[in-house]
């Protein structure tokens, strides 16, 4: 008789059906268990989130880079533990996420910074309801899920509300223009507290100029702008996810040094290279 592969095991005990389309508000989701027990969530055929049984283990590279920056911004270094009294006190922050998916990053932030308070804006109501159960997400007030269009929520928030704002919104493989525009950048600056930091996931195809355009747009509003990316992506030779950073205060020290420990060859672009990108790009209306 032919040998049947054993089903892969995972510690997520309340998952929905595996390897089959699951109806959500915007289409369908799909769950796949990997060899290490992690779960890949696809939304309408596109990988959306990858959740590991260990919350702080982030499979998507750009999320690891974001968490590294958030740690530095909130006063933790890679050598610190989130359970330390000093680390937990420094980590009491207000954090917002535009785009939720499976909430991989918010889940990791809660593990690293348990005193933080997070709100995740997700447009897909059925998906938001499902992922809280599937992945045993932290409950309010640690993590609140808000069902709304991301650009609408951003425009409605009061000023000086958040210490960290994360953008990770895609329709297919593209971030809506309502979240890359100069108006959106102004709203981001408005809702961040003094010294707050903005992190945006930018997926720029080669030759599109999208990374340069976003850097140019953010540079119109923020005093300090940075880019975390692999060298081939920075040079425009291939597509990849980069993390854009923006703040009215100096970016946290130690980011580039911390990035050297990542499994991917990645860097914080030198200031001169970021300025060159800003000159090359166009401000997005």
DSSP H helical ranges for the chain: 61-73, 85-90, 104-112, 125-134, 150-156, 182-191, 210-219, 231-234, 255-259, 271-280
**42 domain residue, yes or no:** no
- Whether the pLDDT of residue 3 is over 90: the answer is no
Is the pLDDT at 268 greater than 50, yes or no?
yes
Write down the residue that tokens 């300090």 correspond to: 224
CA dihedral 211, 217, 221, 226 (to 10 degrees): 10
Question: 90 falls in which pLDDT band (50, 70, 90)?
Answer: low
> Which carries the bigger pLDDT value, residue 120 or residue 232?
120
pLDDT band for 87, please (50, 70, 90 cuts): very low
Residue 78: per-residue pLDDT:
64
Domain tally for the chain? Answer: 1
- CATH code of residue 67: 3.40.50.150
pTM of the full predicted structure?
A: 0.92
Q: What average pLDDT does range 151-169 have in this prediction?
A: 97
192 close to 160: Cβ distance less than 8 angstroms: yes
Tokens 């525009």, located at residue = 181
Domain that holds residue 201: 60-280
Domain assignment present for 212 = yes
Q: Are 74 and 93 in contact (CB under 8 A)?
A: yes
Q: Is residue 47 part of a domain?
A: no
Residue 146 structure tokens:
């808000």
What are 9-22's pLDDT values in tens digits?
Answer: 888 999 999 999 99
Give yes or no for residue 190 having a pLDDT over 80. yes
Tell me the C-alpha to C-alpha distance, in Å, between residue 185 and each of 155, 168, 198, 245, 265: 10, 14, 10, 12, 29
- What is the mean pLDDT of the segment spanning 19-36? 96
Q: What mean pLDDT do residues 237-247 have?
A: 87
21 in any annotated domain: no
DSSP-assigned beta bridge partners for residue 94: 117
Q: Is the pLDDT of residue 82 over 60?
A: no
Written as one string, the DSSP assignment of 122-169 is: ES-HHHHHHHHHHTTPPPTTTEEEEES-HHHHHHHSPSS-EEEEEE--
Give 64's contacts (C-beta < 8 A, 6+ positions apart).
58, 262
Distances (CA, A) of 240 to 98, 173, 249: 20, 11, 27
Angle subtended at Cα 116 by Cα 110 and Cα 121, rounded to the nearest 5 degrees: 75
Residues 6+ apart with CB under 8 A from 97: 103, 105, 106, 118, 119, 120, 121, 165, 166, 168
Query: Does residue 39 fall inside a structural domain?
Result: no
Domain assignment present for residue 172? The answer is: yes
């Amino acid at each position: 008789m032919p040998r049947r592969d054993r089903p892969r095991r995972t510690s997520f005990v309340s998952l929905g059906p595996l390897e089959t389309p699951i109806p959500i508000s915007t289409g369908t989701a799909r769950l796949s268990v990997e060899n290490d027990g992690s779960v890949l969530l696809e939304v309408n055929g596109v990988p959306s989130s990858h959740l590991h049984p260990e919350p702080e283990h982030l499979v998507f590279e750009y999320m690891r880079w974001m968490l590294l920056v958030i740690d530095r911004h909130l006063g933790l270094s890679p050598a610190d533990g989130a359970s330390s009294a000093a680390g937990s006190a420094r980590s009491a922050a207000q954090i917002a996420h535009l785009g939720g998916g499976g909430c991989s990053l918010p889940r990791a932030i809660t593990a690293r910074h348990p005193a933080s308070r997070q709100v995740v804006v997700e447009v897909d109501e059925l998906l938001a309801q499902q992922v809280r159960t599937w992945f045993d997400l932290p409950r309010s007030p640690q993590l609140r899920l808000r069902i709304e269009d991301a650009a609408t929520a951003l425009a409605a928030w009061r000023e000086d509300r958040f210490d960290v704002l994360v953008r990770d919104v895609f329709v297919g493989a593209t971030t809506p223009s309502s979240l890359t525009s100069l108006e959106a950048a102004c709203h981001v600056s408005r809702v961040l507290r003094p010294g707050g930091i903005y992190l945006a996931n930018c997926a720029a195809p080669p030759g599109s100029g999208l990374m340069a355009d976003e850097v140019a747009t953010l540079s119109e509003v923020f005093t300090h702008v940075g880019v975390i990316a692999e060298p081939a992506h920075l040079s425009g030779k291939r597509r990849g996810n980069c993390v854009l950073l923006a703040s009215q205060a100096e970016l946290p020290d130690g980011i580039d040094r911390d990035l050297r420990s990542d499994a991917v060859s990645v860097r914080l672009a030198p200031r001169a290279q970021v300025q060159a990108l800003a000159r090359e790009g166009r401000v997005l209306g």
